[in-house]
Amino acid sequence: MDLKTTYLGLKLRNPLIASASPLSGTVNNLRRMEDAGIGAIVIYSLFEEQITKELQEMNQHLVRGTESYAESLTYFPEPADVLVEPEEYVDHIRQAKSTVDVPVIASLNGHSEGGWVRYAKLLEDAGADALELNIYFLATDFATTSEQIEQRYLNILRSVKSMVKIPVAVKIGPYFSALAHMTKRLEEAGADGLVLFNRFYQPDIDIENLSVIPNVLLSTPQALRLPLRWIAILHGHLKMSLAATSGVHSAQDALKMIMVGADATMLCSVLLKHGIDHVDVILEDMRQWMQEHGYESIQQMKGSLSQKSCPNPEAFERANYMRALKTFI
């Protein structure tokens, strides 16, 4: 059975990629992922906030209360070493590369145009095979237009692309008025791949303490539908790679994504829930299903049920919405 695929120009032994999560934080886990058969690993994200906000906060803490009273002109020793969070991340990428043979994809997560994107270069120098640029942005400002927002995505991408030679995938959310057009623009701006979709963190509220609770829920298999539809629509219209993320919990889910046109599928919640070794279970299930259904390779099935290739393309569009509802009722 040939599970090989190509993602961002990288040859993967299979289409399963560990997506950015805390699991990739230790070298031991990376080794376990590889042993379990993973095709590639996206290392946990380096957040813009880590590069900017945390350093600013730390700087504020270091100067708070200083130069006010003659006996305590400072409260901390001058840091002997450079206080830069990404050093640790960059080191981790380096270690990851020396630990595993599967491709290692670094992940940069941010939302504004600024100096933080220069870390792309450091990640490339550390040996990352590719970069996942996770643009994590909630458009809450009433004065900002859709065009300005789209422009910001493109600007961030362009500045990252201008710094590195390795392929860059962009991970975006689904909340664009004209998503298809946007993906085209991203491709034109140099994206080598798209990762669909980012799951924005959704806070909860506490009605006892009248406060907002920031926490993250793991994805459920239901989350699969959104990327499934969009990958189906986009497949065949873009030259860049497509990766599916959100809601991929089983071999069937992964196969569905490939059939609608994904070059790779990402796993996160399922590994957090069942453990890293579950990769092996999914892979085995994939092989078995493909065998049972007479498929020879991933390549063969890729895009077979995309909007372009499927027997009923209108099912992916709005027209189908009314029918679906009626059926449900």
| Residues binding another protein (CB under 8 A) | 51-52, 55-56, 58-85, 88, 114-116, 118, 210-211
- For another protein, give the closer residue by CB, 70 or 325: 70
Which positions ≥6 away from 106 have C-beta within 8 Å?
42, 43, 46, 89, 93, 123, 126, 128, 130, 131, 132
Q: For residue 8, give the nearest of 294, 241, 170 by alpha carbon.
A: 241
Q: Where are the alpha helices (DSSP H) in the chain?
A: 27-36, 48-51, 53-63, 85-99, 119-125, 146-161, 179-188, 225-234, 251-260, 269-274, 278-292, 298-301, 319-328
In this structure, what token pair is assigned to residue 140? Answer: 């809450």
- Displacement of CA 98 from its chain's centroid (Å): 22
Q: Which residue has the tokens 């100096």?
A: 115
- For another protein, give the closer residue by CB, 79 or 214: 79
Min separation Cβ 49 and another protein, Å: 10
- For another protein, give the closer residue by CB, 88 or 296: 88
Min separation Cβ 79 and another protein, Å: 5
Distance CA 269, CA 131 (A): 21
Min separation Cβ 117 and another protein, Å: 11
Helices (H) and strands (E) in the chain, counts: 13, 12
H-helix or E-strand containing 171? strand 168-172
Q: What letter would DSSP give residue 20?
A: S
- For another protein, give the closer residue by CB, 28 or 300: 28
Distance CA 55, CA 115 (A): 13
- For another protein, give the closer residue by CB, 4 or 94: 94
Q: Which residue has the tokens 């399963």?
A: 16
Min separation Cβ 62 and another protein, Å: 7
Min separation Cβ 114 and another protein, Å: 7
Question: To 10 degrees, what angle do helices 179-188 and 225-234 make?
Answer: 60
Min separation Cβ 110 and another protein, Å: 12
- For another protein, give the closer residue by CB, 73 or 319: 73
- For another protein, give the closer residue by CB, 44 or 316: 44
Min separation Cβ 144 and another protein, Å: 18
Residue type, 289: W
- For another protein, give the closer residue by CB, 119 or 153: 119
Min separation Cβ 104 and another protein, Å: 20
Question: To 10 degrees, what angle do helices 85-99 and 27-36 make?
Answer: 40
